Structure 1
Amino acid sequence: MKKIIFIIVLTMLLKPIFPVVEYVVNYEYISKVLCENKAKPMMHCNGKCHLMKELAKASDAENPKSSDKKGTVQLTEVLFFEEIKLFKINTLISSNTQKINKSYSDLYFYLNGDAVFRPPIFIS
């Protein structure tokens, strides 16, 4: 049973390749008899025109077009929607220098520098 299913699946997957295989196997016959451009040898067609027609037939057979679907409109459903919220970066350093309690603010000293601390380089 598995072999039959495997053969069917393999046939379905390789169906678009059959015209190319037929072209390779019957190259002489197609290039001499079935070629539409036999009278124009400078085009070097060699039956490729017949191959293109066969490939077009195979792709049309694979994707059939029905006349009743031409007027329909396809709708897309939105399954979920999440609103993207903008973010705002708040500044960490306040330019407002109000002194709330003078006695408390005089008890310590700090440097308000913009330099980043880098540790000393160890030389051995």
Structure 2
Amino acid sequence: MRRIVVIIALTLFLKPVFPVIEYIVNYDYIAKVLCVNKDKPMMHCNGKCHLMKQLAKEAENEKPIVPNKKGSVQETEMVFCLYGPTFELPKIYFNSIPKINTYYADFYDYAATLSVFHPPAV
């Protein structure tokens, strides 16, 4: 079931990229047969004109239909799942008191000297 949902989600997300994939796969056929500018090789179009037409058509299909401004009614679709995934959070107990280290020893010593070290004169 998850695989089907993942495949459908990937298809929806990658739908705008399908013309580009088709262009890459069928590059030679599009450049030689479907290219509008195949009579003008100095333009180096190589079928990009066909790709742009396909991308424009795909973008046109993606646009939502705009309802009339007068009396427009907005419809919203809602999906309810009766049985969904369940999970339980692990129980965390905070009753334990951290052990305090009573064997702390301060072995740090600081010896302050007031004289300044001078190297020997030669």
TM-score per shorter chain, which class? 0.5 to 0.7
Aligned twin of 2:41: 41
Q: Which residue of 2 aligns with 1:20?
A: 20
How far, CA to CA, are the matches of 1:22 and 1:57 in structure 2?
14
How far, CA to CA, are the matches of 1:72 and 1:30 in structure 2? 46
- Give me the whole-angstrom Cα distance separating, in 2, the residues matched to 1:47 and 1:70: 40
Match of 1:69 in 2: 68
CA RMSD of aligned residues (A): 2.3
SS of equivalent residue, structure 2 residue 23: helix
TM-score where L is the length of structure 2:
0.54
SS in 2 for 1:50: helix
| CA apart distance, 1:32 | 0.2
Residue in 2 that maps onto 1:59: 59
Greater fraction helix: 1
What corresponds to 1:50 in structure 2?
A: 50
Q: How does 1:1-124 map to 2 (within 5 A)?
A: 1-66=1-66, 68-69=67-68
Task: Report the CA distance shift for 1:70/1:59 in structure 2 as closer, same or farther (over 3 A).
Answer: farther
Aligned-partner Cα distance in 2 for 1:33–1:51: 13
User: 1:2 offset after TM fit, Å?
Assistant: 1.0
**Unaligned residue ranges in structure 2 (runs of 5+):** 73-122
Runs of 4+ in structure 1 displaced over 6 angstroms?
Answer: 70-73
CA 1:45–1:72 in 2, change beyond 3 Å: closer, same or farther? farther
Structure 1 pair 8–47 and aligned structure 2 pair: CA distance change class (3 A): same
Q: Structure 2: how far apart are the matches of 1:28 and 1:71?
A: 50
Number of residue-to-residue matches in the alignment: 73
SS at match of 2:59: helix
Q: Distance in 2 between matches of 1:38 and 1:51?
A: 14
Work out which of the two has the higher radius of gyration on C-alpha atoms and give 1 or 2: 1
User: Sequence identity of aligned pairs in percent?
Assistant: 62
- The one-letter amino acid paired with 1:59 is A
Distance in 2 of aligned mates of 1:4 and 1:47 = 35
In the TM superposition, residue 64 of structure 1 has moved relative to its aligned partner by 3.7
How far residue 70 of structure 1 moved from its aligned partner, in angstroms, is 6.5
